[in-house]
Structure 1
Amino acid sequence: MRLYFKYLKILLKAQMQYRISFWLLTLGQFFVPLSIFVSLYFLFERFGNIKGWSFFEVALCFSVANMAFAITECFARGFDAFSRMVSAGEFDRVLVRPRSTVIQVMGSRFEFTRVGRLLQSIGVLIWALMNLPIDWNAAKAITLVLMVVSGVFIFTGIFVLAATLCFWTIQGIEVANIFTDGGREMSQYPLDIYKKWIARFFTFVIPFGCMNYYPLMYVLDRVEGNEILYMLSPLCGILFVFPCFLVWRIGVRHYRSTGS
């Protein structure tokens, strides 16, 4: 981890060499999700609710998904850009170094400008919490934190799986964006507004529901049944990353240099 933080420090210094560009990109990252949120606001202004979910309940869901995605893009972007490393033959150098390939790839790129998206999501989160009649206790506060942590692990796992495909395809394939950008868009809304097969897929295969829908039901006191299962569901999202890293190790064993 010392190596990882050293990577982080070096790349932060490099990006801050062009400060105007850095702050303009950060500002852009603030306004892009804001425009999506404004469209969400007008949607509820027109229809009032979506399958019984109010605007501020969906806003809470929206903020958690975007916070998790922003943090992941900032600190795990190396996997998202991994195809360039493979096609250029740079992964050969990674393999001969006596350090973990995961740490080296993850530390190869950081997108600090995503702090703009993060700040916007925090603002939406605060606004939503101020307008929701939540009876807070320690368990609910911990659950809310775990929702964001779980989302970071889920998105990181998807980035890792998409990067692993590059061992066979060399170039990244666009279908992976269905589960990265598409997953972010889908998880901005409660899971029960979708078809049942979609809800099942994003619960038992890619556990986005464990990031926002099920723990959100607990936080909002909408649980029917065992509350503990809903409260602890974000842990399933955290566990999702471990089989993803197992698949990564299999991909590393099958790597063949491009010869670039």
Structure 2
Amino acid sequence: MKTYLYFFTIVLLSASCTRSTLQLKSLNPDTQRENGLEVARQLNDSLKVVTAFESVYLSRQPGAKIEYLIFDTEITNLTERPIEIKPHDFEITALDETQTLLLYKTSAGTLNPWRRQGLDPDLELQRIARQIKQEQKILQFNKVFNTVLLVGLVAADVATQTNSRQTYHEYASKRAGIAAGWQTLAVKRVADHQRFGNRMDQLTWEQGNFERETFRQMILQPGEAMRGKLLLQSNRAAHFYEITYPARNQALSFQFEQKRVKDKRR
């Protein structure tokens, strides 16, 4: 027992003293430092894209936690015709230390380049709405299940109290088991509501962020610009990223170097 306690103490101390900071450095020639951020610019005869890495966003989805890179991004329509802008058209490609494609193995056993599309706020709002309904269903199920347990404990308690043929040892043993059941039920009820509250707080917070987000699918009129937060999934194994956006003649491309620096707190 002392060995386990010692092990968990070391783990907790290590977690509290070590943290990883993600650093993303722009490798684009047209990069300037503004307000503490590296602002990169690219343009052609149809679009101008200005972007700067800000921070990371951790999306807690069922069975997974996905980390996204947040870019403060502005797109300007330089043409004389309307252009449809889609966050999903942004593509991020992970590169290794030699700046070649980072490959991953699929479920079929094939090796594919690691690429992801930009996060669409409208699709995320749909996902969050589904998760909220799912959390409500889980809470309702837990309430019904707890009621069944409650009825079972009451029945067992009554049976124990009215059974005159049991010995004192049997009576005491059953009473101890019932008492443990009541305690377990009370703890479970609290845990169910705490879990539901925590998940709803997280989902409501995410929902509010995506509802306020302006960088979403829209039509840009000639000379019009759109600015907002672009979210692109990260890859912890990547040393470099290439971010592209399709344009009429040639795709606009940005390169970034990724470093994860572990800091020791003293």
TM-score w.r.t. length of structure 1: 0.22
Which of the pair has the greater relative contact order for Cα pairs under 8 Å at 6+ separation?
2
Structure number with higher strand proportion = 2
Structure number with higher helix proportion = 1
Larger Rg: 2
